[in-house]
Amino acid sequence: MSAALNDASAHGDADAPRARLIDTAGLETALQAFADARHWQPYHTPKNLAMALSVEVAELVEIFQWQTDAEAQAVMQTNEARHVEQELADIAMYLVRLSSVLGVDLNRAVAEKLVMNAQKYPAPQA
């Protein structure tokens, strides 16, 4: 878990102050400008963006499809490293664009989900 996330939040304290975990504002602006310049607004519907996101995730999965766990762990030391980076970038861009189009505050959603996960899967007590 990120060092930026304070200890109380990591353990599921819903009242704990939350650090800004992700900052997508600049990316949202850049992606909006990119889409605007190409007149892509009619195509950037939630359905289309969700499908495009799914395709990009599938392209990432394809890289690992027939690898052993050891090969997958070492992928960034192979000639596939750049391909992995590009697919992760595509995934991030579509995720941020989809959340923007839907009006979802991704930082808030992630912070809330981390708290929910901490409550659902508590860390073992020492």
CATH number of the domain enclosing 100: 1.10.287.1080
Whether 114 is covered by a domain: the verdict is yes
The string of pLDDT tens digits covering residues 66-77 is: 999 999 999 999
Whether 66 is covered by a domain: the verdict is yes
Full-model pTM: 0.82
Residues 6+ apart with CB under 8 A from 120: none
Whether 89 is covered by a domain: the verdict is yes
Whether 40 is covered by a domain: the verdict is yes
- Domain of 111, in residue numbers: 7-120
Whether 125 is covered by a domain: the verdict is no
Q: How many domains does the chain have?
A: 1
The string of pLDDT tens digits covering residues 68-113 is: 999 999 999 999 999 999 999 999 999 999 999 999 999 999 999 9
**SS in 3 state form for 57-120?**
HHHHHHHHCCCCHHHHHCHHHCCCHHHHHHHHHHHHHHHHHHHHHHCCCHHHHHHHHHHHHHHH
Whether 1 is covered by a domain: the verdict is no
Q: How far is CA 11 from the centre of its chain?
A: 21
Whether 68 is covered by a domain: the verdict is yes
